[in-house]
């Protein structure tokens, strides 16, 4: 299954590759080594595009005490920081880096009411840069429920990512594990959790969006 954000790109990519290889075969001949190299390269490129937009089904177990990973990737930051945009106080930041090979669907970490949703234009520093969370193109979403409390998470574009899709709007009803957005071609997601949250992840852990429990309340 492929994500809706990839339908147009997949269609255009496959159409262009088929046209390119058909033309090369017609004009250069079926057994020309350059045509065979082009065909192999095109197949590899097509596979990379298809795998990037894959949208595997995830078995989310709804639990108001669990804060689940909003994306696939590797945990690269766990630290106490001051969150300046919404809370303006200290929080535990947990950051997940998504490489171009990861699934790039972004999911709600908890269920509840969307209290805040905002897009920010910005730079395209590498996603692991310390200032990428406040200077890069990004979104900020806050979801609140009675158990986990308000949780802020932020989609952050990287050096390769050039488009963030955010589906959240203020007053929407968030459902844990359901799609809330998509980032195209490399990025990270930051979670800002209450100081009393119990962190269940470690640096370099590989997490699965919609399933891995990164913290509990």
Residues labelled catalytic: 187
Q: How far apart are CA 184 and CA 37, in angstroms?
A: 28
Give which of 61, 95, 101, 60 is closest to 80, Cα–Cα. Answer: 95
User: Could you tell me the end-to-end alpha-carbon distance of the chain, in angstroms, rounded to an integer?
Assistant: 33
Q: How far apart are CA 38 and CA 44, in angstroms?
A: 10
For 131, other C-beta atoms within 10 Å of its C-beta total: 10
In the beta sheet, which residues pair with residue 184?
163
Cα Rg, the chain, nearest whole Å: 20
Whether residue 86 contacts residue 152, with contact meaning beta carbons closer than 8 Å, is answered with: yes
**Percentages of the chain per state (helix, strand, coil), in multiples of 5:** 25, 35, 40
């Amino acid at each position: 299954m492929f994500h809706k954000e990839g339908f147009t790109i997949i269609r255009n990519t496959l159409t262009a590759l088929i046209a390119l290889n058909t033309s090369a075969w017609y004009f250069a001949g079926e057994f020309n080594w350059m045509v065979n190299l082009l065909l192999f390269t095109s197949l590899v490129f097509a596979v990379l595009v298809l795998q990037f937009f894959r949208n595997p089904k995830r078995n989310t177990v709804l639990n108001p005490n669990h804060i689940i990973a909003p994306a696939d990737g590797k945990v690269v930051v766990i630290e106490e920081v001051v969150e300046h945009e919404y809370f303006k106080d200290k929080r535990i930041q947990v950051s997940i880096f998504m490489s171009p090979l990861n699934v790039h669907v972004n999911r709600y970490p908890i269920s509840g009411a969307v209290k805040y949703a905002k897009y920010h234009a910005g730079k395209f520093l590498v996603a692991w840069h310390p200032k990428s969370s406040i200077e890069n193109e990004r979104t900020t979403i806050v979801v609140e429920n009675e158990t986990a409390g308000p949780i802020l998470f932020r989609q952050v574009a990287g050096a390769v990512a050039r488009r963030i899709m955010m589906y959240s709007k203020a007053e929407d009803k968030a459902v844990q594990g359901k799609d809330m957005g998509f980032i195209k071609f490399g990025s990270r997601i930051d979670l800002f959790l209450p100081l009393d949250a119990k962190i269940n992840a470690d640096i370099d852990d590989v997490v699965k969006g919609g399933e891995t429990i990164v913290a509990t309340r």
